[in-house]
Amino acid sequence: MKREKRKKQEKILYFFLFSLLFLILYSTSFAQDRSAEAFMVPSVVYVGDRAALILPLPGFAIKDDSETASVVSAAVASPTNDIEIHRALLERRPVGSRLTVEFTAYAPGVLELPPIVIAGEAFYGLKIEISSILESRVLSDPAPPLAIPGTSLLVYGTLTVILCFLSAAFWILFWGRSKIKGWLEAWEKKRLLKGMMGIEKRLRRTLVKDDDTCRNILDTLSGEFRLFLARFTGERCQAMTAVEFANTELKLNREFLEDFFRRCDGIRFGGSEISGKNAVSMLDDVKQFLAALKNARHEKGGR
């Protein structure tokens, strides 16, 4: 008897547990079905937007078409800061009923609404999907860092100077070497010519002040003029005699040079007194020669 009673109790317990499990599974599937039928207005809701979740309730349709529609509202507390429930409405209409929940979500993703109890009906497991505004928009690349004022001018100016320097270096290396050499030679000859003209003027001023220095003036003139010719032509003119000036291959007036040094040496070493007139004559000859040489160089440069 005890064994049969125990078996009967076990059967009742198993039936109770099976019924409870069936109710749980049925309520869950019902909630899932309800959540699947629900839709949002607008269809895409972003974080911070106010929207509404609408759940059709065909099972609560009013059979009597003569009855008017009724609306029942209720306040729903928000358990978290992710969702704010503004109000919940249960509309009963002849063609069917529906539940409307107005909300604002502050977090993206799939969120579950809190349980809603209205007009004796409880609704669980209602879910909403909230989109992030960052997902629908492609952000532009970060702005480049701001340059210090004047940086571009400094950079481009430095590059320009470097390019100019490199261009000048290549030009000098491949094409300008001979030209630069010619310019330096022309500048050196111009400097020598100007220096010899200055010596002639200085000796002339000295002669005007003191007539007793005629021999020294001619000695200085002869030495300085020979040194000038040596540097100007590149030949060793310091020890040349008048005849050697005539036979040399100097590209100058060799006849003048032969006559000038013959007369200058004759006056210096003749043993007689040197007058100021002779010294002035020699200075005039040098002055004319230098002037002619200067004009010849100008004409050559012009051509």
The model's pLDDT over 213-250, given as tens digits with 9 standing for 90+, comes to 898 999 999 999 999 999 999 888 988 988 888 888 88
Is 151 a member of any domain?
no
Region 7-32: mean pLDDT is 55
List the domain range (segments joined by +) for residue 62.
38-131
More confident residue, 192 or 126: 192
Is 211 a member of any domain?
yes
Last residue in a domain, options 131, 166, 193? 131
Is 204 a member of any domain?
yes
Res 32: pLDDT: 41
pLDDT digits (tens, 9 = 90+) for 51-109: 999 988 765 545 555 455 567 776 677 777 888 888 888 888 777 788 899 999 888 88
Res 172: pLDDT: 75
Residue (of 265, 259, 164, 166) closest to 221 by Cα position:
265
Number of separate domains in the chain: 2
CA quadruple 55, 56, 60, 64: dihedral, nearest 10: 140
Is 18 a member of any domain?
no
Report whether pLDDT(45) > 80.
Answer: yes
Specify which of 29-43, 150-164, 193-207 reaches the highest per-range mean pLDDT: 193-207
Residue 178 sits in the same domain as residue 95: no
Per-chain mean pLDDT for the chain: 80
Last residue in a domain, options 101, 131, 161? 131
Is 156 a member of any domain?
no
Predicted structure pTM score: 0.46
Residue 287 sits in the same domain as residue 187: yes
Residue (of 89, 49, 45) closest to 69 by Cα position:
89
Let me know: does 82 contact 118? Beta carbons within 8 Å: no
Let me know: does 38 contact 126? Beta carbons within 8 Å: yes
| CA dihedral sign, ordered 232, 236, 239, 241 | negative
Res 135: pLDDT: 60
Last residue in a domain, options 131, 146, 161? 131
